[in-house]
Amino acid sequence: MLELPFPYLVFLGDTQEPLFAKTAFGLRDWAPERCIGEWSCGHTAVTTGLPRVSPREARDRGARSLVIGVANYGGIIQENWIPTLLEALEAGLDVIGGMHARLQDIEPLKTAAARLGRRLIDVRVPPANIPVASGRKRTGKRLLTVGTDCALGKKYSALAITRAFKDRGVEADFRATGQTGILICGRGIPMDAVVSDFEAGAAEMLTPDSPPQHWDVIEGQGSLFHPSYAAVSLGLLHGSQPDVIVVCHQAGRTRILGKSDYLLPSLEDTIDLNLRLGRRTNPGIRCAGVSLNTSQLDDAAARDLLAMQSQRLGMPVADPIRGGAEFEQLVNACLA
CA 263/CA 286 separation, integer angstroms:
25
**Sheet harboring 120-122: ordered strands across?**
35-39, 8-11, 65-68, 94-97, 120-122
Percent of the chain with pLDDT over 90: 91
Q: Is pLDDT above 60 for 11?
A: yes
Q: Give the range among 48-62, 64-78, 112-126, 316-330 with minimum mean pLDDT.
A: 64-78
Helix (H) or strand (E) holding 205, with range, is helix 199-206
Contact 181, 155 (CB under 8 A): yes
Q: How far apart are the first and last CA of the chain?
A: 32
Into which CATH architecture does domain 141-335 fall?
Answer: 3-Layer(aba) Sandwich (3.40)
Nearby residues of 114 by Cβ (< 8 Å), 6 or more positions away: none
At the topology level, CATH places domain 8-122 in Rossmann fold (3.40.50)
For residue 290, the SS3 value is strand
Q: Which residues pair with 65 in a beta bridge?
A: 8, 94
pLDDT tier, 307 (very low <50, low <70, confident <90, very high otherwise): very high
- The domain segmentation of the chain, as residue ranges, is 8-122, 141-335
Q: Is pLDDT above 90 for 75?
A: no
The per-residue pLDDT for range 146-170, each reduced to its tens digit, is 999 998 999 999 999 999 999 999 9
- Burial category of 104 from C-beta neighbours within 10 Å (exposed 0-12, middle 13-18, buried 19 and up): middle
CA 39/CA 68 separation, integer angstroms:
10
Q: How far is CA 141 from the centre of its chain?
A: 20
| pLDDT at site 332 | 98
Q: What is the pTM of this model?
A: 0.90
Q: Is pLDDT above 90 for 174?
A: yes
CA 8/CA 3 separation, integer angstroms:
13
Say whether 141-335 and 8-122 share the same fold: yes
CA 220/CA 246 separation, integer angstroms:
10
Contact 170, 244 (CB under 8 A): no
Q: Is pLDDT above 60 for 1?
A: no
Average pLDDT over residues 203-228: 97
What are residue 259's phi and psi, to 5 degrees? -135, 70
Contact 122, 104 (CB under 8 A): yes
pLDDT tier, 2 (very low <50, low <70, confident <90, very high otherwise): low
